[in-house]
Amino acid sequence: MIYDEPRYMPGGDRYMLIEFGNEMNLELNFMAQGLASAIVANKIKGVVETAPCFASMLIHYEPEDISYDDLKQEMARLIANLGPSDNIELPSRLFYFPTAYLDPWTKAAIDDYTAKINPEKEYDAAFVARLNGLSGPEQLVRVHSGTEYWVASLGFWPGLPFMMALDPRCVITAPKYNPPRTWTPQGTVGMGGASTAIYPVATPGGYQIFARIPIPIWDPKRRFAAFEDSICLFRPGDRVKFVPVSVAEFEDVERRVADGSYEYNVVGYQKFSVSQYKSWVAGLDRTKRF
């Protein structure tokens, strides 16, 4: 549910957590990101930084510049001014990623897991398809690649995006691995709960995995212009579109990434209008899958 009034909670001497509700719901994330934008626009004194998450937002503040109670009052005022989430417009970029679904690299990671950790583990794509009532891995690919994804939050590892499907016809869910995998290839695309993530580097992981992108979303050497402002690609509020490609095309892009000639395919900052999004969603037949 969405709370009538947001809940404010302290985290030690320098943090405040604001909860907007207690469910996974894009609207709650729009509110969190709307508040983050409003804090910047209103230059609220004493706010060091913000970190929106699915249904909440963490604020890091400087108590010498603003007290906890004053911060709470300021936040309540900004949230009231945000009005209903329909009024929110968020700066958003759109990234297109060539994506090898049902690829050999994530398969190798799953095979290694079944050989060493859990022989019972069903292949992730078949498992996720079955749990979501899809006909099989091929339909999972159509459904998963049929939508833009919304970067709701970043974390777990620097630059790792937690994304939610914007098209409700493409919402699928998946439980996490138990126990987790000890390794996941860099660029792997996976799902846990209702969120999709991309692994910036090879790390352990718990998401169901069934695709891989050849493009860095983390670049400490900043070889590409997309990393001008940071060494990770995404900001909250960005969007991602996975474009299915063959393994041969994946490897071609990988070569261009290696020699530095790859051009990121990105639509620059535009306004994402929550009201226009909601009116589009309202006209969809949610029972239809791709």
Partner 1 sequence: MLEVLKPGLETSVQDYPGRIGYWNQGFPPSGPMDSWSFRLANLLVGNAVGDAGLECQYMGPTLKFQRAAVIALTGADMGAKLDGQPVPLWTSVAVQAGQVLEMGAARAGTRCYLAIAGGIATEAWLGSRSTFHQAGVGGMNGSALKTGHVVPVAEGHGVAGRSVKETARPPIVTGKRWVVEVCAGPNDDWIDEAGQQRFLSADWKLSSKSNRTGFRLEGPEWTFAPKATNKPPEHGSLPSNIIDHGYPLGAINLAGQTPIILVNDGPSMGGFINPYTVPSAAFWKLGQSKPGEIYNFKQISVAEAQAMARAMKAICTESSIV
Report d(CA 51, CA 38) in Å as an integer.
13
| In the complex, minimum distance from the CB of residue 178 to partner 1, in angstroms, rounded to a whole number | 9
Report d(CA 158, CA 150) in Å as an integer.
17
Estimate the crossing angle of helix 26-41 against helix 68-82, to 10 degrees.
Answer: 110
| In the complex, minimum distance from the CB of residue 86 to partner 1, in angstroms, rounded to a whole number | 23
Contact 207, 190 (CB under 8 A): yes
| In the complex, minimum distance from the CB of residue 167 to partner 1, in angstroms, rounded to a whole number | 19
**Residue with smaller CB distance to partner 1, 11 or 104:** 11
**Residue with smaller CB distance to partner 1, 230 or 273:** 230
| In the complex, minimum distance from the CB of residue 87 to partner 1, in angstroms, rounded to a whole number | 22
Site residues, partner 1 (CB under 8 A):
9-15, 17, 19, 22-24, 36, 48-58, 60, 63-64, 68, 153-160, 162, 193-195, 201, 220, 230-232, 234-236
Name the β-bridge partners of 162. 153, 197
**Residue with smaller CB distance to partner 1, 145 or 230:** 230
**Residue with smaller CB distance to partner 1, 171 or 253:** 171
Helix (H, G, I), strand (E, B) or coil at 68: helix
Contact 71, 57 (CB under 8 A): no
| In the complex, minimum distance from the CB of residue 252 to partner 1, in angstroms, rounded to a whole number | 28
Q: What residue type is 117 in one-letter code?
A: I
Tokens 């069903």 map to which residue?
122
**Residue with smaller CB distance to partner 1, 16 or 88:** 16
**Residue with smaller CB distance to partner 1, 16 or 211:** 16
**Residue with smaller CB distance to partner 1, 52 or 214:** 52
**Residue with smaller CB distance to partner 1, 32 or 109:** 32
Report d(CA 41, CA 29) in Å as an integer.
18
Burial of 79 (C-beta count, 10 Å sphere; 0-12/13-18/19+): middle
| In the complex, minimum distance from the CB of residue 46 to partner 1, in angstroms, rounded to a whole number | 12
Estimate the crossing angle of helix 137-144 against helix 124-131, to 10 degrees.
Answer: 80
Helix (H, G, I), strand (E, B) or coil at 35: helix
Q: What residue type is 72 in one-letter code?
A: K
Spatial neighbors of 158 by CB under 8 A, at least 6 apart, are 200, 218, 231, 232
| In the complex, minimum distance from the CB of residue 219 to partner 1, in angstroms, rounded to a whole number | 12
| In the complex, minimum distance from the CB of residue 2 to partner 1, in angstroms, rounded to a whole number | 12
Report d(CA 236, CA 93) in Å as an integer.
10
Report d(CA 215, CA 192) in Å as an integer.
22
